[in-house]
A and B are shown apart, each in its own frame.
Chain A
């Protein structure tokens, strides 16, 4: 390892060694993730441009605090941001257990890799459960791919201003009306695309975990496959950071 830092740039590219000092599979995973980062940023930039274009509109972009304000078992309470913060915590924590699995793999401790992989899979499943609940609330209140009922009338705006964290509220039919359609369709597309990545990550994690308990990586002599699915899993967490920022905070 130490020789890679001492050789000059000319020798690095002279052949006979990996200039990136990384395996073929991991290099390809990095390039895939770079392209996937462009996909997600295109979605978020499209979202941003459309949201910008509603500045000055008679049907303004809904305030996320008045849409995503639910929490399980707290019906009728105004609790914006709380549930997505919990989802963020779940995803960050599953990222830690993933990276601990990678670290255990470096020490070739099969039992620990298996334990941390299970925790990561549970975290991913919990996140997906939360997202399903979030979607069902959104659809229940009138969010559709081609319409949204989160626009506020004057009475609704007055009611929204009087709400504070934890206060009781109830939206009446007269408070709400049609709002910008892209608000709802982009919510389904962006969180759906991210959620599909989480789902694929959970499936990949389960496959690698089955390999771990089957002893595949003991026979292979290294746990690089755990590192590769780990890269994918952290990327999913990375995307969520920006979905959280642009969809819920701003």
Chain B
């Protein structure tokens, strides 16, 4: 390993070739995440059959989906361990635009249904 290229030392930062040194956090948290994801999927499966379709059931499914997303992005994609500004840069635009899109979904979908079937 040529240390001049791959480790960061003051005064010789080359943006195009800079690769920060990475270290293993071990596999324990990875397997724990896997078991949690699997457990949530199984709970999804059980709820699907014991509860009748309802708004509350849909909210539970979506909440579980968001928990799974946070685990995948935070642990598997390693974002929890990245620098603060990288985390902000990825998470903030996603939250802002996705809330807007979901709001649009509910307003527009409702409107089309009202106009088409409930005149």
Q: A and B: real partners?
A: yes
Chain B residues whose C-beta falls within 8 Å of the C-beta of A73 in the assembled complex: none
Question: B residues within 8 Å of A by Cβ?
Answer: 1-2, 5-6, 8, 10-11, 13, 15-16, 18-27, 30-31, 33-34, 37-38, 41, 44-45, 48-49, 58, 61-62, 64-65, 68-69, 72-73, 75-78, 82-83, 85-86, 89-90, 93-94, 97-98, 101-102, 104-106, 108-110, 112-113, 116-118
B20 with A1: CB separation less than 8 A: yes
Question: A residues within 8 Å of B by Cβ?
Answer: 1, 4, 12, 16-24, 27, 30, 33-34, 37-38, 41-42, 45, 48-57, 80-81, 85, 88-89, 92-93, 95-96, 98-100, 102-103, 106-107, 165, 221-222, 224, 227, 230-231, 234-235, 237-238, 241-242, 244-245, 249-250
Residue among B5, B82, B105 with most chain A CB within 10 A: B105
Chain B residues whose C-beta falls within 8 Å of the C-beta of A42 in the assembled complex: 101
Chain A residues whose C-beta falls within 8 Å of the C-beta of B34 in the assembled complex: 92-93, 95-96
Q: A24-B16, A238-B73 are in contact. Are A52 and B82 (CB under 8 A)?
A: no
CA distance A52 to B110 in the complex (A): 6
Chain B residues whose C-beta falls within 8 Å of the C-beta of A237 in the assembled complex: 72, 76
A92 with B15: CB separation less than 8 A: no
Taking the closest CB of chain B, its distance from the CB of A183, in whole angstroms, is 14
Taking the closest CB of chain A, its distance from the CB of B97, in whole angstroms, is 6
Chain A residues whose C-beta falls within 8 Å of the C-beta of B27 in the assembled complex: 100, 103
Chain A residues whose C-beta falls within 8 Å of the C-beta of B104 in the assembled complex: 45, 49
B24 with A54: CB separation less than 8 A: no
B109 with A21: CB separation less than 8 A: no
